Structure 1
Amino acid sequence: MRTITSLNYKIIFHLLGLLLLVNGGFMLLAALISLLYKDGVVLQMVLAGSTTLVIGGSVMLLTRSHRKEIHKRDGYVIVSFGWITMALVGTLPYLFTGAIPGFANAFFETMSGYTTTGASILSDIESLPKGVLFWRSITHWIGGMGIIVLAIAILPLLGIGGMQLFTAEAPGVGGDKLHPRITDTAKRLWIIYVGYTVAETILLKVAGMNLFDAMNHSLSTLSTGGFSTKNTSVAFWNDSPIIQYIIIVFMFLAGTNFVLSYFAFKKRFSRIFQDDEFKWYVGMIAVFTVVVSLLIYFKADVSLSSVEHPMVWGAFESALRHGMFQVVAIITTTGFVSADYTLWTPFLTVVFFGLMFLGGSAGSTAGGVKIVRHLIMIKNGILEFKRTLHPNAILPVRYNNRAVQQPIVYNILGFFILYMLSFIMGVLVFSWLGLDYRTALGGAASTLGNVGPALGDLGPVNNFGSIPTAAKWWASFLMLIGRLELFTVLILLTPFFWRNR
């Protein structure tokens, strides 16, 4: 008796072709930006988009007679190879325009875009054509909402640790759910995602950014990506506090479960304030903002840290703003930079390194471990003390006043162990490839958590361009597995996955 169904290759390739069509469409949109700004690379961008459309259309045409049935194994392959395929083809605008020399560099930049990591190999971003810059930002935007759709439609079905909790809050039958149909749920979240992007663009434009910079930073913010159109990232606008406050607000929203945004628009505020993860999310940001801001104000050498002193509302406002900005940017894994936080005392450097393992909310565009997983592990750890004293008592972990099924708890614990093992392996490989220990530690934490800026030679004012080619490929792999919740990719490396019996 066959226990595992064989892969439905036709539906897999058909959906990969569909992803290429989407990719090609956005490339042509970037070509339109090139045309509007007359940046000299219109033909190259059109060629990249057309090539992608032809490949995608051909694949879909050849696989049109597929079985409309997706099993669990098909889902793993579609998700993993979908991201890889989009990253491979997403290099074409960089290669055709010559904006990024070398396939390894182009692939790194593209993977960093789709996984919303924000790490870059570019040293002079402002010299790139406008169409290429827009394409760079749009890869963030596609990948950002792509992970939301995955979280709703696919990851819970695959049993990814913690995502079952999210799906309990999103699709399903009942008055407290968004909508019983997954497609309608995804549609509603897409509307919120687009709405936030438009709103931030307008606000940044009104606050003083030009329209192009406002669009690009909105695309990067809502995806919690971190690509900027400026070499110094958001530090370019250190003399415009309102711009940085606007970005802080939208980074916070992007790192929040998008289902809660839906409840907010439906005026179901009680659902928001009763959500355990949201309360911890807000609490952690508040606590770390206070700690970081006070240390910047009293301890940091502002002449070295790029924190302007004094400003409109004084030195404390500046410390508070930069502290809040970097805390939110790291926790939500957006990775924007308003100052070089590695110069804010060694203690704060360690604090930001630790925040790279926190992550935003489940059902957000943020990367990392996710707060809900930390919360479940903490609650389970506390219950272990009680279970030791009362071994016969039934003491379930409770989340949002509901008991969490034990398999989910085990899955979350397994995920965290696998995450830490992946981090350790990441550090070891980076060290073996020649990176010093600080750079290896920061690089592994940043790429696996999809954060962007790291430590050492990969700090906030540096980039990944100087690391060896092999290290760029390894970093790309870490970005991929981190973004797709580890299990989704790593299970493909096991021999039993490919057996039909």
Structure 2
Amino acid sequence: MNKSVVKFIIGRILRIEAVLMIAPLIVSFIYKEDRVYQFSFLIVMAVLVLISYLLCRGEVDKRQMYAKEGFIIVSLSWIILSFFGSLPFVISGDIPSFVDAFFETSSGFTTTGSSILTDVEALAHSMLFWRSFTHLVGGMGVLVFALAVMPQTGSESVHIMKAEVPGPVFGKVVAKLSASARILYMIYLSMAAVMVVLLLFGGMSFFDALLHAFGTAGTGGFGVRNGSILAYDSTYIDVVLSVGMILFGINFNLYYFILIGRIKEAFSSEELRWYFAIIGSAILFICLNIYTTYESIGIMVRDVFFSVSSIITTTGFSTVNFGEWPLFSRMILLSLMFFGGMAGSTAGGLKISRIALLIKSASAEFKRMSQPNRIVVIKYEKKTIEQDALRSVVNYLLVYIVIFIALVLIISLDFNDFESAFSSIVATFNNIGPGLGVVGPMGGYSGLSDWSKILLSFVMIAGRLEIFPIIILFSSRTWRR
């Protein structure tokens, strides 16, 4: 393994994190906060710069970088960024427990939105900003951001982007990787800026609009009020966020196609059709199931639309306690937690493309069984799917299921009911945030033991990176020459 290039790139990533902390530092000065907050960021920034300097020293062999190095760089970067990103919370005293701070920061960077905070409004403005800013940075990917801003990123960097960008298939929008990263981030940030403007029209303060745009763009879901979005009591804001969450759950490559005039190609995406069909079906079935519990059809549709948008995009904002809905509706939402958004989006979950391929594969197998001599060709996005691609999707699902079951068994030691234990893994492994039961939208993760919080922190990172980078990182074979 090429350890020199691993150290070098991680050093550069830490330097970028130091630069990112300038933003909350400025917020601290704007709101004239106590010096302890400014000190919290300054000391961490100094440590990051020092470690970065030490890691980037010496000769670097950039020529030998393969998939293994890419996986290690990505997984190590997310863990280390979460570690150092949690320190301002601890130093300032806003989250005095390091375990709690690490959980909160991991949840932020992975855009999960799970929280240990019972009174989020007690945080200083700079800490609230940093907490939500991690959503914006982590949404498109920390390493994708690094590739967009770091100079001299060679073709080997594709291994980093493949390891970090979620979904079964990785595709560049243009030939040069760094240019692809910049284009994706420009689209991403432009859409986030539009969200800020729209939320301002809804009566939000600029600070609240900015942080909710961060959460929507990264499909993370950290709120700045104790009642989440419900605290604003605005149909306009609910609709804007609902539509925004759905848009950020779409593959960003499709937005690039629209920008360059390939509109027909963008809207003919099969995954996009699956995505909207699942959303529409979920809204319809839940509305039919709960309409007797609502006096107003309009309010019901608004709540269901928002909840479905929030869950399938793994954002985690809430306007209603869907844990009190009938079991049928809760089961639909639980299914959406597994589905997630489209590949190449900021959403988590298994991804719509994998679900579609699994359904097509099962359908093809049924046809073969009923007509043994029939040759069945599986097509997706107008392309014939090779057996290797299908095998990769099935293998991922098998690994996902095995690890998921193991995690539920382990976390059950800290819960008294199955619904809470099961949904806590669903919510963190798929980067959603709120689950059901005690970890539902009106609950949280503050009551868990420290070991459960540490476990779930790594579960969030593993889910965001789609398992394999973390497995490779902790494999003994990885570190053998």
Q: For the residues of structure 1 that align with 2:336 and 2:166, how far apart are their CA atoms?
A: 20
Q: For the residues of structure 2 that align with 1:63 and 1:326, how far apart are their CA atoms?
A: 51
* SS state at 2:5 partner: helix
Distance of aligned partners of 1:155 and 1:422 in 2 relative to their CA distance in 1, 3 Å threshold: farther
Counterpart in the other structure of 1:482: 463
Are 1:335 and 2:316 matched, yes or no? yes
Match of 2:283 among 280, 283, 289: 289
Match of 1:349 among 330, 334, 349: 330
Q: Percent identity?
A: 34
Match of 1:214 among 209, 222, 235: 209
Matches within 5 A, 1:176-215: 178-215=173-210
Answer yes or no: is the 8 Å Cα contact 2:74–2:143 preserved in 1: no
Are 1:236 and 2:231 matched, yes or no? yes
* SS state at 1:117 partner: coil
CA shift for structure 1 position 387: 2.1
CA shift for structure 1 position 192: 0.3
Counterpart in the other structure of 2:30: 36
Q: For the residues of structure 1 that align with 2:163 and 2:45, how far apart are their CA atoms?
A: 32
Answer yes or no: is the 8 Å Cα contact 2:87–2:98 preserved in 1: no
Of 224-233 and 262-271, more deviation after overlay is shown by 262-271
Are 1:496 and 2:477 matched, yes or no? yes
Counterpart in the other structure of 1:80: 75
CA shift for structure 1 position 71: 1.2
Matches within 5 A, 1:380-419: 380-391=361-372, 393-419=374-400
Q: For the residues of structure 2 that align with 1:36 and 1:421, how far apart are their CA atoms?
A: 49
- For 1:83, give the aligned amino acid: W
Are 1:224 and 2:211 matched, yes or no? no
Distance of aligned partners of 1:148 and 1:251 in 2 relative to their CA distance in 1, 3 Å threshold: farther
Counterpart in the other structure of 2:342: 361
Q: For the residues of structure 2 that align with 1:9 and 1:425, how far apart are their CA atoms?
A: 32
Are 1:120 and 2:101 matched, yes or no? no
Q: For the residues of structure 1 that align with 2:284 and 2:276, how far apart are their CA atoms?
A: 12
Answer yes or no: is the 8 Å Cα contact 1:294–1:319 preserved in 2: no
Answer yes or no: is the 8 Å Cα contact 1:118–1:450 preserved in 2: yes
Are 1:59 and 2:40 matched, yes or no? no
Of 460-469 and 288-297, more deviation after overlay is shown by 288-297
Q: For the residues of structure 1 that align with 2:211 and 2:126, how far apart are their CA atoms?
A: 11
Q: For the residues of structure 2 that align with 1:257 and 1:157, how far apart are their CA atoms?
A: 15
CA shift for structure 1 position 271: 1.2
Counterpart in the other structure of 1:69: 64
Q: Deviations over 1:334-389 (max 9, x none)?
A: 01011100112222222212211111000000001000000001001111122224
Answer yes or no: is the 8 Å Cα contact 1:13–1:59 preserved in 2: yes
* SS state at 1:462 partner: coil
TM-score (normalised: structure 1):
0.89
Counterpart in the other structure of 1:376: 357
CA shift for structure 1 position 296: 3.3
Are 1:462 and 2:443 matched, yes or no? yes
Q: For the residues of structure 1 that align with 2:250 and 2:71, how far apart are their CA atoms?
A: 26
Structure 2, unmatched stretches of 5+, are 148-156
Answer yes or no: is the 8 Å Cα contact 2:166–2:465 preserved in 1: no
Counterpart in the other structure of 1:163: 168
Counterpart in the other structure of 1:175: none
- For 2:51, give the aligned amino acid: I
Q: For the residues of structure 1 that align with 2:265 and 2:336, how far apart are their CA atoms?
A: 27
Are 1:27 and 2:41 matched, yes or no? no
Counterpart in the other structure of 1:276: 270
Are 1:145 and 2:145 matched, yes or no? no
- For 1:51, give the aligned amino acid: V
Q: Deviations over 1:277-303 (max 9, x none)?
A: 1001011111111222343332x3x5x
Q: For the residues of structure 1 that align with 2:321 and 2:163, how far apart are their CA atoms?
A: 40
Answer yes or no: is the 8 Å Cα contact 1:148–1:365 preserved in 2: no
Number of residue pairs the alignment of both structures matches: 469
Counterpart in the other structure of 2:154: none
Distance of aligned partners of 1:257 and 1:47 in 2 relative to their CA distance in 1, 3 Å threshold: same
Answer yes or no: is the 8 Å Cα contact 1:119–1:464 preserved in 2: yes
Are 1:154 and 2:149 matched, yes or no? no
Distance of aligned partners of 1:64 and 1:224 in 2 relative to their CA distance in 1, 3 Å threshold: farther
Counterpart in the other structure of 1:10: 4
- For 1:57, give the aligned amino acid: Y
- For 2:378, give the aligned amino acid: V
Q: For the residues of structure 1 that align with 2:59 and 2:10, how far apart are their CA atoms?
A: 12
Distance of aligned partners of 1:162 and 1:129 in 2 relative to their CA distance in 1, 3 Å threshold: closer
CA shift for structure 1 position 147: 6.6
Match of 1:134 among 118, 129, 133: 129
CA shift for structure 1 position 499: 3.5
Q: For the residues of structure 2 that align with 1:158 and 1:85, how far apart are their CA atoms?
A: 16
CA shift for structure 1 position 163: 2.8
Q: For the residues of structure 1 that align with 2:339 and 2:356, how far apart are their CA atoms?
A: 11
Counterpart in the other structure of 1:102: 97
Are 1:46 and 2:79 matched, yes or no? no
Distance of aligned partners of 1:95 and 1:232 in 2 relative to their CA distance in 1, 3 Å threshold: same
Counterpart in the other structure of 2:247: 253
Structure 1, unmatched stretches of 5+, are 1-6, 172-177, 303-308, 310-314
CA shift for structure 1 position 492: 3.0
Cα RMSD for the two superposed structures: 2.1
Answer yes or no: is the 8 Å Cα contact 1:290–1:320 preserved in 2: no
Q: For the residues of structure 1 that align with 2:39 and 2:472, how far apart are their CA atoms?
A: 41
Q: For the residues of structure 2 that align with 1:285 and 1:187, how far apart are their CA atoms?
A: 30
